[in-house]
């Protein structure tokens, strides 16, 4: 949306933010509309850009917390130098 004209992207972004705020209790609408509206507004407004960066930082922090506390499991891939044949690691 960086190349979109301001007269199109600003009303769409504001509409998504307001719609996400008002329709948040509904299962299909709501939560996803707010960050999308911020992403659309961010190139055109410094305050929306700051809020978008802060929201992104908060989501990363929340994801790290949930991984640390076991709510989200991360599948780890072996590094290039490590060989993984599927057997359990040997104990020394």
**CA neighbor of 40 nearest in space, from 64, 72, 67, 16:** 16
Identify the burial level of 40 via C-beta atoms within 10 angstroms of its C-beta, where 0-12 means exposed, 13-18 middle and 19 or more buried: buried
Q: Which of 83, 63, 59 lies closest to 72 in space, CA to CA?
A: 63
Whether residue 92 is predicted with pLDDT greater than 60 in this model: the reply is: no
**Per-residue tokens: 70:** 């076991």
The residue ranking higher by pLDDT, 27 or 6, is 6
Structure confidence at residue 12 (pLDDT): 87
70 vs 1, which has greater pLDDT? Answer: 70
- pLDDT tens digits for range 16-52: 888 887 877 777 766 788 888 888 888 877 887 788 7
The rounded distance, in Å, linking the Cα atoms of 58 and 40 is 19
**What is the average pLDDT value for the chain, to the nearest integer?**
79
The dihedral of CA 20, 26, 29, 35: what is its sign? positive
């Amino acid at each position: 949306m960086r190349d979109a004209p301001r007269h199109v992207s600003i009303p769409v972004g504001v509409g998504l933010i307001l719609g996400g705020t008002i329709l948040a209790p509904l299962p299909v609408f709501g939560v996803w509309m707010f960050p999308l509206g911020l992403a659309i507004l961010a190139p055109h407004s410094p305050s929306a850009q700051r809020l978008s960066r802060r929201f992104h930082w908060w989501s990363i922090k929340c994801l790290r917390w949930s991984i640390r506390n076991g709510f989200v499991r991360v599948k780890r891939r072996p590094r290039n130098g490590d060989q993984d044949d599927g057997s359990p690691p040997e104990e020394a």
